[in-house]
Structure 1
């Protein structure tokens, strides 16, 4: 220590500042960076800092350099091993969480009670029936303005009865009404008319609130079924079967 002070006081100010930095500040600063190579809970972190101040000041730079060598081959290896262990633990947890989530997603969802489903089906059927009934009523009224009459027809067979929406008595035409003109409903109507045709001998027609698309019109007419649809001014038009 006396030698360092003697050198510092016998030289210029820049040299004195350099000596102070080299022997006073740098060893402690570098050592505190070096101890970071050790794992967080490693006792060498605190031991090295304590040992530094027991080393003569003139020997501290060399002593700190020696600790750097030890930290690289001992502390850094432990630190890396600790990091790898934490990463592996995190990956295991993530894998476990993902597996649990997959199991939860694969579980069947709670289904609505049968009573609720039955109520929903009835409500849907009631709404569709109301739409079709309104369409049938409008068409019947329009036919009346044309001097024609149509009414529902009950077709009886052993063990059950079938009800067709309308029978146009003047044309001898059995009409099945649908509240929409989509493919599902028109295919359904076509099947109903074919079913009725086993029991009664009438021409067939499907009644819709709008004109179906060209391919669906072709589906009906190519099967011998007329297409009747409502137009904007309350009238109805028809496309005859092929």
Structure 2
């Protein structure tokens, strides 16, 4: 083999032999390897063309490669275009599916966040009663079996109980009238945010009286409840809380505009929300704390029982005359409160509350 190559080099010259090797040996294989790349990946013609080339004699390869060039142009290019389009459709389908999945996850997360942390209803602070607010709150009250209230005094809780028609279990958390710090801190807050001519001592006296009026109101509302459990705590939160079976209402009295508005901004959360469960758990923790001061009023509680209970809660003996004065003041509060909730007509049809045994 080597002798033959040397003889050909001697006869034809080195350059001629090299050119022949390139033209009949290297060039056909190189071109065919380029042509097969036109076909899509894994196309059977890729392997077929390479195998056919090996079966073609060297002297006929140039003509054969030229023939395959035309075949590949009219056969391989359409196959490649079809393959590219199919890949794009698959990729677009995957992208669309992925986009829809992401959108579904985002929407699900948005709904979860909205349900867990965002209020179902928002009522802005106003100087006039909002009919929608009162209508929805009273609907929640009339549909609930348990009514939990947390505020500085129990006036609003007692008023709502008297305005409702359903007997229920009620729990109330109010400020401890025997804790001077609670009243002083609330008085200072009202003094800072109230009118400039407010007097600190007058605010203190008004707050102490509101607690007593609220207690009298809860006593008057006892026939609307299975029982009224009262917990007094030092320095309750500024925001008023009203919790029902299906919702919780948070009146933002701690908002900077709440003091200047008669009706503060109020948020309603459904029972499926995180806020509802958090507020309920916190309420039950306080109302059931073994170290707390807890009291109970039932339909069987007499006036004498209540006067003794009032002394235990407030530390002050309440006479019959003082009781009647507080009862008159609570009736005045009810007269102002019932039109606000647009139920004054219903109030006129209710039997007078029993205050005796």
TM-score, normalisation: structure 1: 0.49
RCO higher in 1 or 2 (8 Å CA, sep ≥ 6)?
2
Query: TM-score, length-normalised on structure 2?
Result: 0.35
